């Protein structure tokens, strides 16, 4: 079975990747499994630039093909913010960032709260080979947080994609449902399609 290092320290991402990759026939390792404690500076201007930086650093340090994800939320009414800064837009926890987002949008009615999640993935091998792919999912920022599944901004992201009509947040979907339609799942499917059989 091929072995892949999940080049992320975000437990929410790691859990999602583990489920999707094991289902696709991969054996996975995490940075903790390898005793790796790498802090990669996310200096890129785009999700893709940052994914490549992380994948290359982890592949070199771990000696395994490494899959990195750089992802985030783009809100149209905020000119695409928090974007590449989604994880560090506001200091504190995911709940702090959700609260800050709701506060920033307090005067914006539901109709003006369109948003999307985007993910860029990079798969780097220690010998320098590289594959990349991107995915996105469309939705809207709800008026309050709902649901306990997922991570990050999931409790305020009303899903309007994959056959859903915006009545449920990403955090109200069960993990298998999120894994069928998320930005990360779509990017991973596009990446795996590029792998030689």
Binding to ligand ITT in span 50-79, by CB under 6 A = 54, 69-73
Quick check: is 37 catalytic?
no
| Cα(13)–Cα(152) distance, integer angstroms | 10
Q: 84 vs 131, which CB is nearer to ligand ITT?
A: 84
Q: What is the distance between the alpha carbons of residues 46 and 33, in angstroms, rounded to a whole number?
A: 29
**Applying CB under 6 A, does 30 fall inside the site for ligand ITT?**
no
Give, in order, the Cα–Cα distances in Å from 189 to each of 107, 134, 136, 182. Answer: 37, 9, 12, 11
- Nearer to ligand ITT by Cβ, of 4 and 197: the residue is 4
Tell me how far apart the alpha carbons of residues 188 and 182 are, in angstroms, rounded to a whole number: 10
Q: Which residue has the tokens 């069960």?
A: 174
Q: How far is the CB of 184 from ligand ITT (least distance, A)?
A: 6
- Shortest gap between Cβ of 9 and ligand ITT (angstroms)? 4
Q: What is the Cα–Cα distance from 50 to 31, expressed in whole angstroms? A: 17
Which window, 7-15, 19-27, 56-64, 188-196, contacts ligand ITT (CB under 6 A)? Answer: 7-15
Q: Which residues bind ligand ITT (CB under 6 A)?
A: 8-10, 13, 42, 54, 69-73, 86-87, 117, 150-154, 170, 182, 184
């Amino acid at each position: 079975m091929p072995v892949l290092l999940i080049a992320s320290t975000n437990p929410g991402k790691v859990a999602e990747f583990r489920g999707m990759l094991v289902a696709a026939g991969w054996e996975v390792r995490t940075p903790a499994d390898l005793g790796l404690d790498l802090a990669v500076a996310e200096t890129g201007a785009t999700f893709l630039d940052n994914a490549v930086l992380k994948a290359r650093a982890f592949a070199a340090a771990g000696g395994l093909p490494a899959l990195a994800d750089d992802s985030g939320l783009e809100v149209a009414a905020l000119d695409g913010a928090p974007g590449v800064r989604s994880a560090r837009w506001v200091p504190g926890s995911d709940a702090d960032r959700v609260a800050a987002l709701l506060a920033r949008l307090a005067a914006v009615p539901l109709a003006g709260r369109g948003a999307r999640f985007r993910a860029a993935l990079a798969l780097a091998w220690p010998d320098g080979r590289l594959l990349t792919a991107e995915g996105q999912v469309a939705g809207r920022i709800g008026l309050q947080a709902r649901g306990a599944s997922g991570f990050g901004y999931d409790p305020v992201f009303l899903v309007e994609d994959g056959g859903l009509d915006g009545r449920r947040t990403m955090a109200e979907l069960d993990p298998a449902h999120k894994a069928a339609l998320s930005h990360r799942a779509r990017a991973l499917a596009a990446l795996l399609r590029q792998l030689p059989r």
